[in-house]
Structure 1
Amino acid sequence: MDLTALAFFVPACFALNMAPGPNNLLSLGNATRYGFSRAVAAGVGRLLAFMLMIMLTSAGLAAVLHTSAWLFNAIKIGGALYLFWLAWQLWRAPAGSNEPVSEPAAGLAGLARQEFLVAAGNPKAILIFTAFLPQFIDPAQPVSAQFAVLGALFLVLEVVAIAAYAWMGVHLRRWFSAPRGRRIFNRASAGLLAGAGVGLLLSRRGA
């Protein structure tokens, strides 16, 4: 693979990984409530969803999403409803005491499943892989191998993004340790998740 293409791919890809979105917001919130290590470990669910999306995109299923309005809208609506449900749960979450939370209400498997469902419920992610990754593919070289390398790099950078947002969440926990501050943070996060759900509902296949 052309090293020049990789030199352009890595910073552009990392910008996508670091962009604020529902999954990064989950890492932020999970770290605020449950700690850095659990938030990072829960990100495995997101990585699994993205890995499946990369495989599906490589297999050409993304073309189906481009052409099938029914399938795209079904995934989109399901993902938006799940984001609204998460926002409602976060809005109603008790602020708690000043003591740091040591154990999550949901187990690690539940947090990872939450990350997976949020990522999998966004069909735009597959379309991003379709529109973004191919720009760095050299058609004169084996495409599958190049796609595997770019997909692996994307996942590695996603791990960095998960850790970065979890680190920010740990510091937010210190800043919002009082019940009032935690309530403000929970409701602000709920509003952002709900906004992401609205944005998902308004999204179009060709966007």
Structure 2
Amino acid sequence: MLDTDWSDSWRSAFRIELRAEAIGLAWHGWPVLPGTFPEMEPDAESWSGPVPVHEDWADRLGAHPNEVAEWWTGQPYSLLVATGKVVDAIEVGVELGKCAARLLRATGHPAPIVATPDGRWLFLTAAADGLPEQLAASGEVRWHGEGSWVPLPPTPYQHGVVHWRVKPEVCGWRLPEATAVHSVLAQALDQTETSTQLVAAAPVAA
């Protein structure tokens, strides 16, 4: 359960915020969808993350913002974006995410980045066909392409809320090419692996 007061007034205010974010993203052409939230589950502690509310969610992609607004009329649904058409997402852990974010800032071409309360970072890019072999084989990186989705702020989890590390406005709402972000993530992966190896090889003080 969320570490906050899930009262009727709080639920209403949160629903309005989620609805406003969904409408804004839809106007920018992002394929948003309503998702489940912890309070919908009989056992909220076993909730592992939001999934689309509608079984035919794939047929609803590209809905007009007016229709999107109606989806959030009654419930504070999670805010999801479907991947594979307009947006892709590359999911990594915190340490790799921080390293990649620093490298992206250094290039002067940041990407929108989402962080979840369970310690995952999502780098959003334009749609692509897949990951380079180095990233796909690393075990540290998960690609969300066609048929998948990811949560966007302010989606609620049991113990926190999904939030932006880098908002789309910073990039002028232009999603970076996937290849550019893949390259930076590969550099970050090399750096974090090297750092881990150096730590492992360091002598232990007597």
TM-score, normalised with respect to structure 2: 0.25
Greater strand content: 2
TM-score, normalised with respect to structure 1: 0.25
RCO comparison, higher one (Cα < 8 Å, 6+): 1
